[in-house]
Amino acid sequence: MRSHLRLLVILFPLIVGSCSQKEQLFTLADTQTSCSIVLDLGPYSTVQDAQNAYSSINWFDDKYKQDNISQTALAALELQEYLSHIFNIPKTHLPIIDAKNAPDTGNMIILGLPGESSLKQIIKPVKKYWRKSKSASDQAIRLDSFYGTTRRGMVLSGRTATGNLYAVYELLSRYGVRWFKPGADGEFVPRMKKIDIFSIHDFVDPEMKVRGYWMDARREANQGDIEFYKWLGRNRINLFWNNEKDVAALKQRGILLNTGRKDLISTLIKPEYNYRYNHPNFPNDDHFPMDPFMVSDSFRGDSDDDQFLSYKEAHPEWFDTTSDSMHDGSATIWVPHICLSKSDAVREFSQIIVDKLLYGEWQTCDIIDLWEPDYWCSCEKCQQMGNNADKLLYMMYKINQSIHFAKEAGTLKRPIYVHGYISHFAADPPSIKLPKDFNGQNMAVYLFTGPRCYNHYIISPGCTAINIWFSRSI
């Protein structure tokens, strides 16, 4: 009796498993076969309406439903456009259909993971594949084929709606589509008679989290156009600056926007800037908000009698730095003006950044750029704060703290990344242990090597003019 039970236990999963249909080779699309593109259009009646809504969407709040629909609508239109070119067929052979009207038969490409009950049996296995993926990257994508008795096709899905768009570009690139430069004359679209599919279940995660251009907003004023934005998105380039007029078109393509400034550390607070608070011991600033800082023991009032209170007059100790590092307060993008050992000074610096993200010129920024200066304050206390890498990480840590507090307060609703840059051939590693609450998930430090020769690899000893300095430093 015991042996019969054992036999039943072994055979049961085999019997159950045999009920599902095995995947077979099939033609996804060709010059004769119609293939539907299926997605969730939400409240929009057409895919064009959903795509065009990008210009009226708030891309910087914590409500993502409209963002997701608009991005996936763009993905559908891009897929339809290029498949029609590949097969040289009219777009009517590739109808874009709302998920609630998904056909019961035929070939289809499903974008994202629509929640419609009619698609449940197709989407359920894909969700299982997603659960097995260990990567938490918001840019990860999946390409999964499905083969049923009445419906067959592909599910192109991402961990986010940007991923849905990336999944479309991944599929197109696998079949030879290339975008070498902006505009129709800069792309290559192969001609094919058909696309055959057999059991595709691929997980793709970009090797580099950030891919794009760092441009100096103080030196460059040129604007891109929609063709350039399309080219960025199609090549899955996801970093550009904040100076563009059509920010919404960039955000629809999943592009992160940075401050594009190298001089934050030296220009946000200068000794001569007007103090932005209502100082309790100064009469002419009642229109400013309440001062969050204690009155300085060194406070001497309006020492230059200009009827304004400067930062240095309000808090002389914040600028208690040695003259060789501060160059007597002269303005240079590579010199900070505050003493890092003064916690209130660093707190004010960080709060100015948060205020600019909330109310100022960085309301459409996703990334704060913090470039290491040539000189840090060299007072005795600052010298005890470690090497240059320690000081840069400390500033990034304090900025990130202020960002976290703003999020907890509900005033800042979007993800913000803090990027540090070291513009040297090489840098010493940090010498001080990071705080326990140092959150590195939204922070990164880049070794920005500046001018280098691209005809040789970076540490090539054969490049005696330029890259040899990298080789010697490393």
DSSP H helices in 215-318: 226-234, 247-252, 264-267, 311-314
What is the per-residue pLDDT for 88?
Answer: 93
Is residue 443 within 8 Å of residue 419, measured between CB atoms?
yes
The pTM for the full model equals 0.86
pLDDT band at 408 (very low <50, low <70, confident <90, very high): very high
Backbone angles phi, psi at 93, to 5 degrees: -75, -10
Residue 4 has pLDDT above 60, yes or no: no
Q: What pLDDT is stored for residue 18 in this prediction?
A: 35
Which position has the higher pLDDT, 136 or 289? 289
**Sheet of strand 201-204, all strands in order from the earlier edge strand to the far edge:** 96-98, 35-39, 106-111, 151-158, 141-147, 201-204
What are the tens digits of pLDDT across the range 169-204?
Answer: 999 999 999 999 999 999 999 999 999 999 999 999
Between the alpha carbon of residue 182 and those of residues 224, 248, 260, 399, the distances in Å are: 10, 18, 22, 37
Distance of alpha carbon 328 from alpha carbon 331, whole angstroms:
9
Q: pLDDT by residue (tens digit) across 272-291?
A: 999 999 999 999 888 999 99
pLDDT of residue 93: 94
Contact between 56 and 221 (Cβ < 8 Å)? no
Is-contact 102 131, C-beta < 8 A? no
Check residue 136 and give its pLDDT: 81
